[in-house]
Each structure stands twice: as C-alpha cells, then as structure tokens.
Amino acid sequence: MAALIVAQVIRINKTNPPVQSEVTTDPAIKPLLKKACYDCHSNETVWPWYSNVAPVSWLIGSDVNEGREKMNFSEWGNYSADVQSKHLQKIVEEVAEGGMPPWYYAIMHRDAHLTPEERGQIKKWTTETAPQSQRIRND
C-alpha cells in the first residue's frame, strides 16, 4: 500500500501540444477517427480521471507518447506524401485486423468501438486519400 502511495508522486506529462496541421477527411470520417484514434494519435488527447492514478497513468502516458510518435493526425500536413501514404496503409491494416483501437482501450472507452461499417468507411477513406501512384490495396 505504501508503494502505491509513493508511486503517486511520479506524474506523467499530460501536455497536449498545439495542433500543427490537421488531417483533412470527409466529414463522416473525422468523428470516427476522433472517437477511436485521437486520444493516442493526435495532440487532442482527452485525459481520463484515471490518468492521474499511478501506475495506470504510466501506461496511458506511454501509449499516448508511442501513438503520437508513430503517427499523429495533428501533424499530418507535416508528413511527406510518401509518409502519409505509409500511414494510410498502416491504418488500413490495423483497422481491417481489428488492431486499432486496442482491446484494452476499447474496454474503458466503449464509444471508441468501431462497427464493421465504420471500419469499412475508414478503409474506403484511406484508399481514396492515397495518391494515385500509391493506391492502397483494399483487400
């Protein structure tokens, strides 16, 4: 019990940097990305109350930092066309396989769950957004 109390002293950085260059999407897609992706893949993280409680806060902080590092919708316009295309391909793979959002995130954020129809909408958006020369396979 004492260790848990002492652990509360170690705080995570819950700073949301400014949005630099937001991803442009179809109006139907943006809400899907916001509900399922933005907490870890943007500078618009909504920090839940339990992000103040160690050691859970450490896991959340790590996930957000890793997510922003891998792909950040708030910095989308700063990526080259090639990097954007690679991110779009990864989105297709993760969404199709059900890897995103992660199961443990979806448990705590029921509204983050994507229906098969919503997954299809995101896949369609990524396919249509990719440059013609780098069209994504939508198998």
Q: Is the full-model pTM beyond 0.85?
A: no
For 127, how many CA atoms within 13 A lie in the half-sphere containing its CB? 12
- Whether the Cβ atoms of residue 70 and residue 21 lie closer than 8 Å to each other: no
Residue boundaries of the structural domains of the chain: 2-10+22-134
Q: What is the pLDDT of residue 138?
A: 42
E strand segments, the chain: none
3-state DSSP call for residue 11?
coil
Tokens representing residue 8 in the block: 């509360």
Dihedral sign from CA coordinates of 56, 62, 48, 36: negative
Copy the structure tokens of residue 67.
């997510």
Distance CA 49, CA 11 (A): 13
Residue 45 — pLDDT band, cuts 50, 70, 90? Answer: very high
pLDDT in tens, 71-85: 999 999 999 999 999
